[in-house]
């Protein structure tokens, strides 16, 4: 039907199924999969290609990921132990007809702790499913805001927004301007949303670009909204900041360069990162479900 319904000839693929890898002594047949790896299949994104891209992104962010080969609807990832005592493989094949992703893992060199690969796969699954939910949230949001006077959702994410200092001053409150355009920092526990637990999307207060999802927000105890991952890698940019005699990594909006906060390496798994953001630098849009409650309440007046 489409090009992707025919799996590519490649490592570990035969016909429509994952097959034994030719160079994997521990992986001589599909029956050789350790029962510990037998986990239920993953759901699909909107297209095969998108599914593979999102799995690849989840895989590449894990420690020990050394090479990722993607081929239309197939992905092969390799994980090495620091001393090369083992090489683990994880493979994914999109099966459009069944509407699932086939998954297989094996240890190619030496014998890894199979529990490690099992946890690794669970981690890939959880990162991939979080990304799927973030997309669903964005779609909810775009439905919920259609026809309202909010910023259009069809904004071009890749068009850089540039304004003069005067224009920013006119558009923003004094505090928003100070933080986003002058690299300011709000005082802890004083800004909006540091303790917000509602489902939704956090967007740039200057240009409206969606930046973070409630899916990756967590309670850091710092008094600033904290996340372990941006909504998309392309939403933000980072830069080394050496002000105040400290070496920190500054985070800004990729589209309009608004200063948002800093990223530190003491965050929770799976990324180990803590995106410590200023609440005033972002606008929070509740997900459709929460939003409905709000508008119903307003209708009564
Ligand atoms: Zn922006």
Reported confidence tier of residue 115, pLDDT bands at 50, 70, 90: low
User: Are residues 126 and 164 both part of a single domain?
Assistant: no
User: Are residues 128 and 198 both part of a single domain?
Assistant: no
Tell me which residue range forms the domain holding 122: 3-135
Reported confidence tier of residue 106, pLDDT bands at 50, 70, 90: low
* Domain assignment present for 147: no
* Domain assignment present for 140: no
Number of structural domains found in the chain = 2
Reported confidence tier of residue 142, pLDDT bands at 50, 70, 90: low
What distance in angstroms lies between residue 206's CA and the mean position of ligand 1's atoms?
A: 5
Of the three residues 135, 163, 195, the one that is the final residue of a domain is 135
User: Are residues 128 and 241 both part of a single domain?
Assistant: no
pLDDT one-digit tens code per residue, 60-76 = 777 777 767 777 788 88
What distance in angstroms lies between residue 205's CA and the mean position of ligand 1's atoms?
A: 7
* Domain assignment present for 141: no
User: Are residues 177 and 85 both part of a single domain?
Assistant: no
The whole-number pLDDT of residue 185 equals 94
The whole-number pLDDT of residue 4 equals 34
Exposed/middle/buried for residue 189 (C-beta within 10 Å: 0-12, 13-18, 19+): exposed
* Domain assignment present for 142: no
User: Are residues 14 and 121 both part of a single domain?
Assistant: yes
Q: Which residue has the higher pLDDT, 253 or 98?
A: 253
What distance in angstroms lies between residue 259's CA and the mean position of ligand 1's atoms?
A: 9
Q: Answer whether residue 217 shows pLDDT above 80.
A: yes
pLDDT one-digit tens code per residue, 272-288 = 899 999 999 999 998 86
The whole-number pLDDT of residue 141 equals 56
* Domain assignment present for 149: no
- ∠ CA 8-14-19, rounded to 5°: 120
Reported confidence tier of residue 123, pLDDT bands at 50, 70, 90: confident
- Indicate the range of 45-49, 141-145, 275-279 predicted with least confidence: 141-145
What distance in angstroms lies between residue 65's CA and the mean position of ligand 1's atoms?
A: 32
User: Are residues 126 and 206 both part of a single domain?
Assistant: no
pLDDT one-digit tens code per residue, 220-238 = 999 999 999 999 888 899 9
What distance in angstroms lies between residue 31's CA and the mean position of ligand 1's atoms?
A: 51
The residue behind tokens 């034994």 is: 20
User: Are residues 109 and 215 both part of a single domain?
Assistant: no
The whole-number pLDDT of residue 5 equals 33
- How far, in Å, CA of 248 to CA of 62, rounded? 23
User: Are residues 166 and 273 both part of a single domain?
Assistant: yes
- Percentage, residues of the chain above pLDDT 90: 33
What the block records as the tokens of 144 is 């919920």
User: Are residues 284 and 175 both part of a single domain?
Assistant: yes
Which 3-state string (H, E, C) describes 126-151?
Answer: HHHHHHHHHHHHHHHHHHHHCCCCCC
Q: Answer whether residue 294 shows pLDDT above 80.
A: no
276 noted as active-site residue: yes
Cβ(161)–Cβ(255) below 8 Å: yes
What distance in angstroms lies between residue 263's CA and the mean position of ligand 1's atoms?
A: 17
- Percentage, residues of the chain above pLDDT 70: 67
- How far, in Å, CA of 16 to CA of 223, rounded? 51
Contacts of 237-246 with C-beta under 8 Å, sequence gap 24+, read 238/263, 241/183, 243/183
The secondary structure element, H or E, covering residue 117 is helix 114-145
What distance in angstroms lies between residue 297's CA and the mean position of ligand 1's atoms?
A: 31
The whole-number pLDDT of residue 54 equals 86
Q: Which residue has the higher pLDDT, 4 or 16?
A: 16
* Domain assignment present for 296: no
What the block records as the tokens of 215 is 């899916």
User: Are residues 265 and 160 both part of a single domain?
Assistant: yes
CATH number of 32's domain: 3.30.310
User: Are residues 172 and 277 both part of a single domain?
Assistant: yes
Residues β-bridged to residue 261: 251, 277
* Domain assignment present for 295: no
Q: Which residue has the higher pLDDT, 139 or 96?
A: 96
pTM of the prediction? 0.48
pLDDT one-digit tens code per residue, 10-34 = 445 555 556 555 544 444 334 444 4
* Domain assignment present for 18: yes
Catalytic residue among 21, 253, 256, 276: 276
Give residues whose Cβ lies within 5 Å of ion ligand 1.
Answer: 204, 206-207, 209, 253, 255-256, 258
CATH number of 217's domain: 2.170.150.20
Q: Answer whether residue 269 shows pLDDT above 50.
A: yes
């Amino acid at each position: 039907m489409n090009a992707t319904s025919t799996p590519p000839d490649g490592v570990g693929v035969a016909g429509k199924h994952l097959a034994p890898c030719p160079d994997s002594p521990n992986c001589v047949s599909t029956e050789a999969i350790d029962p510990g790896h037998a986990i239920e299949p993953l759901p699909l994104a909107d297209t095969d290609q998108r599914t593979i891209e999102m799995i690849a992104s989840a895989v590449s962010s894990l420690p020990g990921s050394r090479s990722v080969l993607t081929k239309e609807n197939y992905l092969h990832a390799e994980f090495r132990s620091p001393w090369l005592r083992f090489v683990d493989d994880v493979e994914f094949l999109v099966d459009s007809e069944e509407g699932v992703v086939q998954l297989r893992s094996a240890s190619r060199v030496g014998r890894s702790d199979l529990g490690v690969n099992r946890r690794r796969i669970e981690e890939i699954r959880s990162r991939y499913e979080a990304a799927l939910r973030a997309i669903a949230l964005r779609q909810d949001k775009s439905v919920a805001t259609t026809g309202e006077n909010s910023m259009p959702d069809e904004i071009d994410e890749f068009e850089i927004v540039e304004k003069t200092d005067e224009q920013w001053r006119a558009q923003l409150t004094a505090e928003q301007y100070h933080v986003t355009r002058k690299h300011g920092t709000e005082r802890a526990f004083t800004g909006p949303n540091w303790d917000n637990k509602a489902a939704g999307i956090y967007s740039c207060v200057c240009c409206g670009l969606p930046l973070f999802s409630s899916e990756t927000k967590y309670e850091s105890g710092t008094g600033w909204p904290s996340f372990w991952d941006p909504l998309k890698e392309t939403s933000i940019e980072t830069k080394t900041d050496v002000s105040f005699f400290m070496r920190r990594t500054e985070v800004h909006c990729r589209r309009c360069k608004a200063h948002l906060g800093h990223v530190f390496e003491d965050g929770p798994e799976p990324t180990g990162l803590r995106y410590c953001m200023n609440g005033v630098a972002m606008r929070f849009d509740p997900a459709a479900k929460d939003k409905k409650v709000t508008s119903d309440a307003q209708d009564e007046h």
